[in-house]
């Protein structure tokens, strides 16, 4: 049981390039999230999904797109990378259980640098 | 979501109990108190959560005041591996349950 797996772990891009970050969870969780964390700050929510085929914007969605074609995968896309998107990206998932939405499980992060 | 206030940093001697306070004076009746920690830029790790009763699990204890305006996370026997940033988050369990992470408390366990 791997939990939440993020791919890749590190990446360096040039301004204007595009890429996709992959998040996979094997816990059959309904909810999945993408956060970014900048140095010395807490995590900020980019986009989230409450189920297969559905996505919604979080606190800082500009410049990113997401897709949830399969329940276990949540993809984060950067269409035209900008230096301001240099950050550590974390994916998380959670399930709906007794009492409501249960605590989130996080991946180990993707460290992305945009030059 | 209710705002939380935590000290910026704390030290604790190895083997002693670490008591991390959190103020959430504007908490609503349906909001839970969650604690997560982040060890050296790893992904955040869930520790414990509670509504109004004190909670204990294998990692920690959570003490919530009767008026629910503050809480304390207790690590009973801190080890060097407990050095991390600890986040206190208040959130209802309805909806998407996205979490608002502030800057947390940086706990340093000293040998």
pLDDT digits (tens, 9 = 90+) for B37-90: 999 878 999 999 999 989 999 999 999 999 999 999 999 999 999 999 999 999
Beta bridge partners of A90: A35
Residue for token pair 């304390």: B72
Contact criterion met (CB < 8 Å) for A44 and B104: no
More confident residue, B40 or A90: A90
Query: Residue A95's pLDDT is what?
Result: 87
Which tokens in the block code for residue B64? Answer: 């919530």
Chain A contact for B44 (CB, 8 A cutoff): yes
Q: Which pair of structure tokens corresponds to residue B85?
A: 């940033």
What local confidence, expressed as pLDDT, does residue A102 receive?
Answer: 81
Closest residue in A to B95 (Cα) is A101
Find the mean pLDDT for residues B98-109.
Answer: 88
Q: Is B102 on the interface with A (CB under 8 A)?
A: yes
What's the mean pLDDT when you consider all of chain B?
Answer: 91
User: In this predicted model, what pLDDT tens digit does every residue of A44-81 receive, in sequence order?
Assistant: 999 999 999 999 999 899 999 999 999 999 999 999 99
Chain B nearest CA to A69, separation (Å): 18
Q: Which residues of B touch A48 (CB under 8 A)?
A: 96, 98
Angle at B89 between CA B101 and CA B30, to 5 degrees: 135
Tokens of A75: 């993809």
SS3 per-residue string spanning chain A: CCCEEEECCEEEECCCCCEEEEEEECCCCCEEEEEEECCCCCEEEEEEEEECCEEEECCCCCCCEEECCCCCEEEEEECCCCHHHCEEEEEEEECEECCEECCCEECCCEEEEEC
**Measured between beta carbons, which residues in chain A are less than 8 angstroms from residue B104?**
42
Bridge partner residues of A30 (DSSP): none
CB B24 within 8 A of CB B35: no
Q: Do A99 and B92 touch (CB under 8 A)?
A: no
Choose among B94, B98, B100: nearest Cβ to A100.
B94
According to the 3-state scheme, what is the secondary structure of chain B?
A: CCCCECCCEEEEECCCCEEEEEECCCCCCCEEEEEEEECCCCCCEEEEEECCCCEECCCCEEEECCCCCEEEEEECCCCHHHCEEEEEEEEECCCCCCCCCCCCEEEEEEC
Q: Do B102 and A100 touch (CB under 8 A)?
A: no
């Amino acid at each position: 049981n791997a939990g939440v797996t993020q791919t890749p772990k590190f990446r360096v891009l040039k301004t204007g390039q595009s890429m996709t970050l992959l998040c996979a969870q094997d816990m059959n969780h309904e909810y999945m999230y993408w956060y970014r964390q900048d140095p010395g700050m807490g995590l900020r929510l980019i986009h989230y999904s409450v189920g297969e085929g559905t996505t919604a914007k979080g606190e800082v969605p500009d410049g990113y797109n997401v897709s949830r074609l399969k329940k276990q995968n949540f993809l984060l896309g950067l269409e035209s990378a900008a230096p301001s998107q240099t950050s550590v990206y974390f994916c998380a998932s959670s399930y709906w259980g007794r009492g409501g939405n249960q605590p989130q499980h996080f991946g180990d992060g993707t460290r992305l640098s945009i030059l | 979501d209710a705002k939380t206030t935590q000290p910026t940093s704390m030290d604790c001697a190895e083997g002693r109990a670490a008591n991390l306070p959190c103020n959430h004076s504007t908490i609503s009746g349906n909001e839970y108190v969650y604690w997560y920690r982040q060890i050296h830029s790893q992904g955040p790790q869930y520790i414990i959560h509670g509504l109004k009763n004190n909670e204990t699990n294998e990692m920690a204890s959570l003490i919530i005041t009767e008026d629910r305006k503050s809480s304390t996370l207790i690590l009973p026997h801190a080890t060097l591996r407990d050095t991390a940033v600890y986040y206190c988050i208040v959130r209802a369990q309805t909806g998407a349950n996205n979490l608002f992470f502030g800057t947390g408390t940086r706990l340093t366990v000293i040998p």
